[in-house]
Structure 1
């Protein structure tokens, strides 16, 4: 059963019970005050977890509906996030011939920017003001959009794959809201102590003492008394005046230079970055009441990876991970999927030799054992080169050996690259497709094909084609890895709920952090071992959902710790 939720005016909501097996004829319709919605949700969710009696809630945007429901104690098991699903169905090659994909752009195609400067805080049950960006669509558009999406799925090239993807994407939307609601357990006192140990005490203004000391050292060594190391042009000029042949101030280039000033300069850049991204100002803005609550944006990247609206949750540096600490009587279960993207490539390509290389062991060590390369570091470089399109240096040198050992895996990414170079879409395992290259790309290709094209036109076209080919080469792997991660989290969310049936959300094991191939669960100590087992079982299930019986493994490490810093 599906229950559609639609705003009616400023103070009411319309719920429509819809059974798709009966050709979408509404079984029941009810209009109620917004304040009564949590009670309705709780009543409908009263069945056993995972049972057919529980509905799938259909709404325009999970971020507009679920935070207030969750705050009121009404937790949802399943939903259809029409906006997230619309993006996938509009762009997928599997639905390219459907009316939904071929329609002119409309309100459902509005782009929501993934970045903001301050944390989002949901305080009221529902904001009764009409949203400025029309985030909640009209009742008719919600019903029409749901019907259009169902028709697009049914007439697609592979409904099963798409339904799994849309279910996983919508589950991710629920998880994103729950991550913010629960928050990552975080000690402001530990964070302050870590910053003080690295930077010196918090200054009233200006740079902390350690950074000021490094600035003095840099100015002395470069004989530049007015140097501002935070200004790349100023710093580059100072380096060149000192006879240092640097062409940029990027850290990777500076590391290649032998000079006494490089070590303090690199240290300054690292600590300055920490201060800017996760210093005391960040602490004041984002950590409250013992929790860090970032605002996640599921599907915020074209590959399906998540983004955040500020807070930098996807770049939490190692220097401050010691501030992530479990509550008394609780533990953190920190889980990391090993070599996720290479293993996803294995499943995508159906490469039996690569699957055997990773069976029961480190995949890179297995590649060495196969004789494809001589050392683990070479295996890693070769695989990254294959997935990201490196054609020079050690990656380029190793590619022929990798191709001979694992031809199907290499052929898959090479085919994706060639498709991108031709300006075509590529599609993930479950059906998310890459965007087409922008207008300038087409203009350049057309100019190179014209009768009066010059060699410069042709070089420019080849260069842009290769650039887009590198994007599509990686897209198929990264997007499929994002799908695996969504299935992993969705399955884990269900298993965590089953460990403490009937318990309040934050009183039972629950997800508190996600980073591409890593999750953290906050759990009562007595359930920690069961949570770790659930993490591993969920990874196995995610592999089966995506790749069926193909023997590719997705090993996951699950560390039971008091602090995030202890897990690595």
Structure 2
């Protein structure tokens, strides 16, 4: 059963040809049962209202997300040429869940959505997408899995926004006060930053007017003082022996905390004991998620002390160990590297240690640096020295990413395991390449073209690995979501507590970032949740790579606070 929701100009909707008032939609969804796969233009537009009514959707298909994948996939034959002008589905933005934390989303329509204006036809678009997938022949199964996983991710993203990440504002305030000093008056620096600013000026023999918050002014002062730094990057400053380095590095770290997660962030994003950030599914070109508010993908360790489970509840925190190199081994069909990933004990807890045990390199640090260089295009320093040894030990894996890099250098498209394709390089890239072949091209033109080509090759080299790792994570997330619901509610937790319906008394996802998840669960179900999270990782591996012998081990912790798991 695949009912399609079609919005009508009068504010009602059609569901499989039947007109339904918006207020009746939750009961219609419940009546359809868990086996229905709901199809709509945008999950962000419809699912928040259903959750607000206490209704969970088991399966859905997001046409906006599906269109974007299929339109750009080299495995799919879209009926329109690639250079055709963008249509309504190409330009359809994701509906915002809220414009600010103080303005909650409208029921079934996000702020700014004009339901009176005719929109693109979901029924016609579904038919087109089904036909495109069917025509992809051998790739159809992979594309269907990718589309299903992307849509399941969209459901999970809205559910995490709805449930929120438990957050104690008083603990957060205490962390800030302990680290920065008491909250300053508007326009003033916290005490610790002011102390560091004085130390920086003294070390540089700079006037009291020097503002450490101004990179331009700070670099000028550093140059005048003969420090020897050409930038304010941490790795460059750490190489220098100068009195300004220590206070400057501390200032930069604390300034990031203040601006990214300080008192203003706390007031803006934490409401009623919950932090709710709006995830953007597939917001990065590789398929990784982004965030449109609150910086959910970059929560520093110092503020994680404020992430505390509700009374009677706990967190299950899990992250995948060395996900990208394991994905690379599976994509390349490299059984030798997969065996290194399983390790001497067969459990595969540390792939880098397994690479050392294989004899490829002498230390874990070199194994890590070398693998990162292989996947991200590092050819200098320790990475460049180790790569030949890794290429000899794992030729299939290294050849796989090298091929992807060479395709990028030629300006070609590369594709992830399930079918998400990289974009083509832009006009500037093509103009630079063409300029190198002109009769009057000089050495600088040739060098510039070569540099541009190699830069795009580094992008495509990593695209295939990072994008496929994102696909594994989506399948993992979808499996966890399904398994958590199947566990049911806990009899030991009240269903009228702070957790909103339909997740009251049930374990539920509250945080996701690339290869890490956090589940908020009744404490008596924590062990069962941990087991299901582990099983979901194995299931994700089978969905993508069948019976290829690659393992995806997790680091799993059960803790009352997010900080306790690290």
Structure-2 change in CA distance of 1:101 and 1:441 (3 Å): closer
When residues 369 and 183 of structure 1 are mapped into structure 2, their CA distance, relative to the original with a 3 A threshold, is: same
Note if 1:283 corresponds to 2:281: no
Please report how far the alpha carbon of residue 92 of structure 1 lies from its aligned counterpart in structure 2 after TM superposition.
Answer: 0.4
Residue 3 of structure 2 aligns to a residue whose secondary structure is strand
| Aligned counterpart in structure 2 of residue 214 of structure 1, from 166, 186, 196 | 196
Answering whether residue 32 of structure 2 is matched by residue 44 of structure 1, we say: yes
Residues 89/102 of structure 1: CA separation in 2 closer, same or farther (3 Å cut): farther
Residue 498 of structure 1 is aligned with which of 486, 494, 506? 486
3-state secondary structure, aligned to 2:514: coil
Look up the match of 1:50: none
1:351 aligns with 2:349: no
How far 1:558 sits from its partner (Å)? 1.3
Tell whether the 8 Å contact from 2:48 to 2:105 is kept in structure 1 after alignment: no
Q: Label 1:389 to 1:366 Cα distance change in 2 as closer, same or farther (>3 A).
A: same
The 1-side partners of 2:507 and 2:458 are apart by: 40
**How many Å separate the matches in 2 of 1:499 and 1:437?**
47
Q: Displacement, 1:128? A: 9.2
The change in CA–CA distance for 1:5 and 1:100 in structure 2 (over 3 A counts) is farther
Query: CA 1:489/1:127 → structure 2, altered by over 3 Å: closer, same or farther?
Result: closer
1:148 aligns with 2:106: no
**Partner in structure 2 of residue 26 of structure 1:** none
Distance in 1 (alpha carbons) for counterparts of 2:355 and 2:329: 12
Q: CA contact under 8 A between 2:70 and 2:78: conserved in structure 1?
A: no
Alignment partner of 2:288: what SS? coil
The aligned counterpart of 2:7 is 7
Tell me the secondary structure at the aligned position of residue 558 of structure 1: strand
Change (3 A) 1:102 1:58: farther
Equivalent residue of 1:313, what SS?
coil
Separation (CA, whole Å) in 2 of partners of 1:261 and 1:433:
46
TM-score, normalised with respect to structure 2? 0.93
TM-aligned CA deviation for residue 309 of structure 1: 0.8
Structure 1 residue 322 corresponds to structure 2 residue 302? no
**Structure 1 residues 126, 88: CA separation in 2 closer, same or farther (over 3 Å shift)?**
closer
User: Structure 1-normalised TM-score?
Assistant: 0.93
Q: 1:96 to 1:126 in 2, by over 3 A?
A: closer
Aligned-residue offset at 1:209: 0.7
Distance in 2 of aligned mates of 1:529 and 1:129: 40
**1:564 and 2:553 matched:** no
- Cα 1:39–1:146, aligned 2, differ >3 Å: closer, same or farther? same
Aligned position for 1:112 = 93
Does the C-alpha gap of structure 1 residues 294 and 144 become closer, same or farther in structure 2, counting only changes over 3 Å? same
The equivalent of 1:331 in structure 2 is 314
2:498 corresponds to: none
Identify unmatched segments of 5+ residues in structure 2.
Answer: 496-501
Q: Aligned to 1:71, which of 49, 52, 57?
A: 52
- Checking the alignment, whether the CA contact within 8 Å between 2:307 and 2:563 is kept in structure 1 is yes
1:559/1:81 CA distance change after superposition, 3 Å: same
Q: Conserved in 2, the CA contact under 8 Å of 1:100 and 1:152? A: no
Aligned residue runs from structure 1 range 458-477, under 5 A: 458-477=446-465
Aligned-residue CA RMSD (Å) = 2.0
Q: Match of 1:216, SS?
A: helix
What is the match of residue 64 of structure 2? 83
How many angstroms does 1:253 deviate by? 1.1
Compute the displacement of 1:221 (Å): 2.0
Q: 1:500 to 1:97 in 2, by over 3 A?
A: closer
In the TM superposition, residue 239 of structure 1 has moved relative to its aligned partner by 1.6
SS in 1 for 2:61: strand
Indicate conservation of the 8 Å contact 2:219/2:230, yes or no.
yes
Superposed counterparts of 1:535-546, under 5 Å: 535-546=533-544
**2: CA distance between counterparts of 1:451 and 1:171?**
53
* d(CA) in 2 for partners of 1:546, 1:300: 21
Distance 2:108 2:546 in 1: 42
Stretches of structure 1 that go unaligned for 5 or more consecutive residues are 17-28, 48-53
Which residue is equivalent to 1:513?
A: 511
Confirm or deny that 1:294 pairs with 2:277: yes
Give the equivalent residue in structure 2 for 1:20: none
Q: Which moved more, 1:240-249 or 1:257-266?
A: 240-249
Q: What do the CA deviations read for 1:333-385 (whole angstroms, capped 9, x no partner)?
A: 00111101111111111101100001123100010011111100000000000
